[in-house]
Amino acid sequence: MSKIMAIANQKGGVGKTTTVVNLGAGLAEAGKKVLMIDLDPQASLTISMGFREPDKLDGTITDIFMKVVNDEVIPEGYAIHSVAERMDLIPSSIDLSAAEVSLVNAMSRELVLRSYMERISSNYDYILIDCMPSLGMLTVNALACAGSVLIPVQPAYLPVRGLQQLIRTIYTVKRRLNSALTIEGILFTMVDRRTLYAKEIVEEVNQAYGGTIPIFQMVIPMSVKASETSQAAKNIYDYDPQGKAAKAYRELTEEVLENDSEERKGAF
């Protein structure tokens, strides 16, 4: 059974793409078949996976959106690029910005991505969607087809301040479009453990949301090596396997797998 997870936060620079890359790689290492979807016109995930000129790619998520909207046939494997063993990618490009505008007039515009996911999700164990830093139509499409949302948050005032709006949007989508949607958890990223400020922000979020929303107790530490992985087009396990960020992302992967295992047990 496939699990679709949206990695979302309307604040940019909080580690969404890095989380998708390294959680995806961790799941693949655990033997899971993983599809990553770049749903950001900036194409950060696509570039991080080694496609330095995404605008020249033949087949992207933009093309898939347009084919679904126009009710065109989508060939098997169309726009799906193999990037590593058990890891595939549907890339993005700047053209996705225009596609988002086009969706405004489309029938069932919030459900275009869900329509496509229903065709391919059975081919994968996990599908990770890297959402753009906004709460627009593309992000709503991701939330409308996802089973859960993972929210990366940097422990700083502005990123945390936006949490309330994001959570409100998630529950609106759950109520109107996707009753199965849950919050996987809030994940603190780029945490500098040496500062009292970061500790205070983490405590504040735990107090505000810990009673109703899962919060990962492990955090992703501030790491120069992790920030270098995008340029190197590598995941953290290949780039700095013994580093603190690699250890943290392994723990995240283990926790996601463990949570899913418990959910499946509870379903029987």
Residue 266: its pLDDT value, please?
54
pLDDT tens track for 87-99: 999 999 999 998 8
Closest to 22 in 3D by CA, of 267, 250, 191, 257: 250
Closest to 181 in 3D by CA, of 189, 190, 172: 172
- Residue 262 pLDDT > 80: no
Domain tally, the chain: 1
Residue 99: its pLDDT value, please?
84
pLDDT tens track for 209-256: 988 999 998 899 999 999 899 999 999 999 999 999 999 999 999 999
Residue 268: its pLDDT value, please?
41
Tokens in use for 160?
Answer: 């945390």
Summarize the confidence of residues 21-34 as an average pLDDT.
97
- Residue 267 pLDDT > 70: no
- How far apart CA 107 and CA 150 sit, in angstroms, is 28
- Burial of residue 182 (CB within 10 Å: 0-12, 13-18, 19+) is middle
Residue 236 belongs to domain with CATH number = 3.40.50.300
Cβ neighbours of residue 84 closer than 8 Å, sequence gap 6 or more: 25, 28
Residue scoring higher pLDDT (78 or 268):
78
Neighbours of 176 (CB within 10 A): 11
Cβ atoms 135, 83 nearer than 8 A:
no
End-to-end CA distance of the chain: 14
Cβ atoms 90, 37 nearer than 8 A:
yes
Identify the domain containing residue 78 by its residue range. Answer: 3-266
Residue 158: its pLDDT value, please?
79
- Please report, rounded to a whole number, the percentage of residues in the chain having pLDDT higher than 70: 98
pLDDT tens track for 129-188: 999 999 999 999 999 999 999 999 998 887 788 898 999 999 999 999 999 999 999 999
Residue 235: its pLDDT value, please?
95
Residue 265: its pLDDT value, please?
60
226 three-state secondary structure? helix
pTM of the model: 0.95
Residue 5: its pLDDT value, please?
98
